[in-house]
Amino acid sequence: MSDVVLINPFEVEAGAEEAAIAYWERAAAHMRAQPGFVSTALHRAIGPGARFPLVNLATWRSPAAFAAAVASPAFRALTQGEAARFPHHPGLYTVIRT
């Protein structure tokens, strides 16, 4: 299977954006070191009122590589305290039309 794209929209309350970005930075630092990681880019909405003020787009070599990275005890320890604070809707995707 070719690369897969993680698209992870985050719901972020007003005033919590900096905390959400700091949370993303900690998680991204862990993910960058995992086998099969290719790239990541945190996107911020340019205007107010976006349903998802932050969206992470990342590329992984395979679904299995991503699954292993998020299943690791280190990632769980790193995220479990805060994940609920920023409801998010991760999914793995491939491109079907351009």
Min dist CB 42 to its own copies, Å, is: 4
Residue 64 sits in the site that holds its own copies (CB under 8 A) = no
Contact 10, 97 (CB under 8 A): no
Q: How many CA atoms within 13 Å lie on the side-chain side of 14?
A: 3
Under rule CB under 8 A, residue 48 binds its own copies: no
Among 63, 65, 70, 82, binds its own copies (CB under 8 A): 63
| Nearer to its own copies among residue 73 and residue 84 (C-beta) | 84
Binding to its own copies by CB under 8 A, coded x per residue (else -) over 7-36, reads x-x-----------x--xx--x--------
**Burial of residue 14 (number of CB atoms within 10 Å: 0-12, 13-18, 19+):** exposed
Whether the Cβ atoms of residue 37 and residue 31 lie closer than 8 Å to each other: yes
Q: What is the DSSP letter of 5?
A: E
> Which positions lie near its own copies, rule CB under 8 A?
4-5, 7, 9, 21, 24-25, 28, 39-47, 50-52, 55, 57, 63, 89, 91-98
